[in-house]
Structure 1
Amino acid sequence: MTTTTTHVTSPVARRGGRTVRILSGLVVLGLAGGAVAVATAAPAPRPSAVPPAAVAVDAGRTTLVCPGPLRLPDEDGAGDSEFDRVPVAPVESVTAFDAQLSGSASLTPLGGDATAFEAGAAALSSPPAPVVLRADPVDGEPARVAGVTSSRVTDGDLRGLAAGSCARPASDLWLVGGSTSLESTADLVVVNPGATPAEVTVELWGPSGPVDLGAGATTLVAPGEQRVVVLPGVAAEQRRIAVHLSAAGGQVSAYLQDSLLDGFTPRGTDLVTPGAPPATTQLVPGIRVPAADVDDPEAGALRVLAPGDGGATAAVRLLGPDGDVVLPGAERLELTAGEVTDVSLGGLPAGTYTAVVEADAPVVASAALAREGDAGELDDQPRLERAWSASTPAGGGLVAVPAGADGYLTLGAVPTGDAVGSGDGPAPSASAAPSPEPTQGQRPDPDAEEDAPAGPVTTVTLRAHRADGEVADQDVEVPVGSTVSVPVADLADDVVGVEVLPADDPAADVAWALVAMVERGDGNLLSVVSPLTDSESVTQAQVREGRRVGLD
């Protein structure tokens, strides 16, 4: 309520006040004239710039957004009522764990009720919408919680395992993956977990450069709501895409549901989740590939985009089980500005790799994995399962294990200096060539014990968490310049989450991810779950000198 007060003044007082104001005005004019004269004679010195300072901020409540359930195909106009595009119901769940047993963590679907953690974990079956994971600080530090959404479909158009980590909301997000070509589904889901509306601007790049989205370039997401942008409707026939979202007014989370058909044959369904922002070095872990020919169209691919105006020259090398190799055809990539490029993963020996993309200008990157299965009754060719692996910062962190899935942790030891930083990374090597022998400390030592690594190694501790709060630690040595895989089942039984703790003085930076798998007789299903890395936590704020003078 606003209160207005009226003051009544006598005529005598008004005349006296007018006299005082006239005399005061003359004095002010005199002082102002003197100040102008002094300023003309001696200009005021220019104040020195004060550099920004990093100031520690108190830990706030942790908020993570878990992807929602799969969007099912529209059955309108399907024709034959006996044909069901999704003949089996998706098995969907959100699982999360609390590494510190804080007692404050909860899972809340948008518009729903909160479910508190029991001991060290919580789970929701068939969530109706994206889920928000919240937890309070512990002893002044951000809560250590993580979660994952998983959807498993064993038949029909959406056959596949689609999983995505619960992610921190942000005002700047990059989704590298997917397609809007015919028979592709690319639904962009934007979630606003905050208390204020968020205006989200969407940019999209394709094989020929930036794509004009028209009215689809801006969307308003209300607090506690989600918005879905069907990308084929605003950017049709783009075989390869990358999406950038920038939010004003609030922070958002986003993911892309990507699925592909070839006639009646399913060709995989997965979630494209946010990756690292543009930088001159990108790390893409969890690239688990079978042996394939160089020209095999089903070998998977590494996707790269230089979103700036000048393009980039890039080189790609892969840290594999036997050391550092170069991806055939990617020794030197001339990236045209704004054009999305795919490089085949064919020609590699079977194994697990970590991609290191080095460029002379900022780029974004991801990888698409592929697995061939058996043909179904209506298929005239084998089915395919695909998964997207996003780029990620190096360092320790947490990852939740999807319900009902086995998994492998892939740990890539990136030589120090190659990890993603401020954007000033190393220039690509134009003369790089595949090495027939292991490198980066992996060259065999004839005097070494069998299976012992020769050369520098970095040690990480894997801490497996169970729902009852029990943990099991295991130290793993990763030879520098290589990637190792550790089955989650080897850490403990009934693991709900894993914590990766690098050594205090590591010999290399560790880029890692979880490759989740469901074994089936007609072809395995897989998805790559990105970690929630510690480097993403906000513990400092940049304080800069103000340039405006307050009027209060």
Structure 2
Amino acid sequence: MSEVQTNVSGESPGTPENTKSPAGDRGEARGSGKRSGSSKIRSSTSRGSNSRGSNSRGSNSRGSNKGVITGVVSAVVILAAGGAAVTATAMVPEPSGGTTTDIREADVPAGRSLGVCPEPARLVSGTVVGTDADFSPVSTTAASALNAVVLSNPAGTVPGSNVTSLAGEAVAEIAKAPATTPTPTVGPPVLAAGVATISPVTSPTVVGAEALGNEQASLAANLSYSATDGDLRGLASTQCQSPGNDAWLLGANTAVGRTAVLNVSNASETPATVNLELYGYEGQIQAPGARGLLVAPGTTRSVNLAGLAPGESQLAVHVRSTGGPVASTIQQSVLRGIAPGGVEYLSPGAGPSNLQVMSGVDIQDPGAIKALAGKSGFADAVPALQIAVPGSTDAVVQVRLYGVNGERKIPNGGVVTVKGGTVATLNLDGVPAGSYTLSASSDVSFLASARITRGAKAEEATDFAWSPSSARLGSQHLVALPREGQRSLSFGVPDGRGTVTYAPVTADGKVGKAVDVDMSGGTTSVIGLSDKSGGSVVVGYVVSASGDPVFGALVFGRQGRTDVSVVAIQDAAAGLEKVPVSVGY
């Protein structure tokens, strides 16, 4: 049974305890050279006994038909009466013009905020379990944890919030719904937070929070996975994402020894029909099994992308849904022969644009990277920028790299031409070791994501991560952190000058003192994060930025290991929204 810890400001949290997660599903034959041409699809659900939408369909259907018939009869009577009315009103002068009231703005009711979290990394079904325990594909050290944080309003009131299964079954309560919503007083905000930790995690979950004062609640949740043995050895982390109907994921690889599993979760009460658009090195890939995928409410549908696009070393996936909104991630893993090469969650980044910016791009010693890349099976063990152009027009992309001490020249010039409808990769080998922010621009809309690698010896463990492009930082972004390991914030300012403010959120529900960092344009700042603040474990941060555009990401690692994972900072919660409304006749 999973251990659940929750705490709201003022309560004393329990001590987190790491528990090994159960062994995953079995996956493909290790190092297999060929893959089945058919799509391998797995559908899972955690629905309870109470089915959604259980109203009687028969009676509703009859009532609906009766209403249609009555409406037709009424329409005939109205038309008959209207014919006589025309004669009577024809002699009355018409008004000179219509009357229209002033345009006003109406409040849009704020809805429930959601963050959908995938299940921990698992082997795909069909993995052959060998007799050599030293090379067993199943991990005995796999551990997973979900950390959720919900921020209060400026008056310190934490909204009602909880963690549930995809089907809506209760997992943990973060904060009870307040009886009243106090109005914020004049002066600086008094922030607090609700916090929950679940370990181990065994299935997809949903973190939800109700609106307060007709404003969206601010929430963040982080799912982390780590293992020191098995085929899925390494570190993987992702922020739980808000559902949507359109998302792009870059960095997938279905070449020999690489496994990419797309997981699509539907946390709504409406069925979702999902269509996948796949782009590779030679152009768009037409896969018959990529369209019309039904994802029932409260379920996750998993698709092994090798069944749709086998042998693709650089694959971009466009996920579109109709009906219910969905959340999508790709579980990407590498196996070089019998040696594990890392695992990561690929999360959606910013949509097609003329400018894409990625933070947290950590590069190792270029000499060691070059030597490693020259060995068989390690061509993708180098830092790189992947670019996808969804349109038909070729894109000439200018790439710039900003380090702690300013801009760094890219050895190959930093200009790459990508054909329309294809995916290309620009290797960053030869760049001096350091932490960078990467900016790419073009006159044609494109997408981008940056690959980060750790480990420089073929005989030792290696790992990788992908930093998706992110949006410009604004005010009050909430980020959640794993409770263990090395953690840092990476910020970049491509041009101008910007100021970043960050404040810790601790396990006892308190928001600590904010720290300001002034940054000049063309630089990157990396801030190592403390494990504790005020004697309590740090579980998240509230991040804001002002001035010229600032971009940010979280970088995770493990002391003495090559583990790495990068998570882009998500958009902040939406405030009160309004729409123009005009009334007239």
Q: C-alpha displacement at 1:471, in angstroms?
A: 2.4
Equivalent residues in 2 for 1:134-533, closer than 5 Å: 134-293=208-367, 296=373, 297=379, 298-329=381-412, 331-372=414-455, 381-396=459-474, 397-415=477-495, 457-472=497-512, 473-489=514-530, 492=533, 494-503=537-546, 506=547, 508-520=548-560, 523-533=561-571
Distance 1:254 1:304 in 2: 20
Change (3 A) 1:126 1:334: same
8 Å Cα contact 1:216/1:229 also seen in 2: no
Instruction: Report SS of the residue matched to 1:232.
Output: helix
1:125–1:310 Cα change, 3 Å: same
> What letter matches 2:383 in structure 1?
G
Give yes or no for the alignment of 1:92 onto 2:144: yes
One-letter code aligned to 1:189: N
The reply to whether residue 126 of structure 1 matches residue 206 of structure 2 is no
**Are 1:106 and 2:162 matched, yes or no?**
yes
Task: Please give the secondary structure, in 2, of the residue aligned with 1:117.
Answer: strand
Q: Distance in 2 between matches of 1:496 and 1:359?
A: 38
Quick check: 1:65 aligned with 2:99? no
1:129-178 per-position Cα deviation (integer Å, ceiling 9, x unaligned): 11101011223321121110000011121111010001111111010112
Aligned pairs for 1:36-55 within 5 A: none
> 1: CA distance between counterparts of 2:414 and 2:581?
42
Contact 1:54–1:540 (CA under 8 A) maintained in structure 2? no
Counterparts of 1:54 and 1:369 in 2: how far apart (Å)?
A: 46
Contact 1:175 1:273 in 2 (8 A): yes
Give the counterpart letter for 2:539 in structure 1. V
TM-score, normalisation: structure 2: 0.74
- Separation in 2, partners of 1:162, 1:253: 17
Change (3 A) 1:187 1:28: same
Aligned to 2:366, what secondary structure does the other structure show? coil
1:517-546 CA-to-partner distances (Å, cap 9, x unmatched) read: 1123xx321101222222x63754767999
Unaligned stretches of 5+ in structure 2?
A: 1-58, 68-75, 92-96, 176-192, 374-378
User: For 1:117, which of 168, 171, 174 is the aligned residue?
Assistant: 174
Whether contact under 8 Å (1:474, 1:491) holds in the other structure is: no
Larger radius of gyration: 1
- State the one-letter code of the partner of 1:69: P
Amino acid at match of 1:404: E
Distance in 2 between the 1:389 and 1:230 partners?
22
In the TM superposition, what is the alpha-carbon distance from 1:347 to its structure 2 partner? 1.6
Tell me the CA shift for residue 497 of structure 1. Answer: 0.2
Is the contact between residue 188 and residue 254 of structure 1 (CA under 8 Å) also seen in structure 2? yes
1:326, distance to aligned residue in structure 2 (A): 3.8
* TM-score, normalised by the number of residues in structure 1: 0.78
- State how far apart, in whole Å, the 2-side matches of 1:26 and 1:131 are: 61
Worse-matched range after superposition: 126-135 or 322-331: 322-331
Call closer, same or farther: CA 1:282–1:59 in 2, change over 3 Å. Answer: same
Unaligned segments of structure 1, at least 5 residues: 6-17, 35-44, 376-380, 417-456, 547-552
**1:110-134 CA distance string (max 9 Å, x none):** 2442301266310111222111010
Displacement of 1:382 in angstroms is 3.0
Aligned length: 474
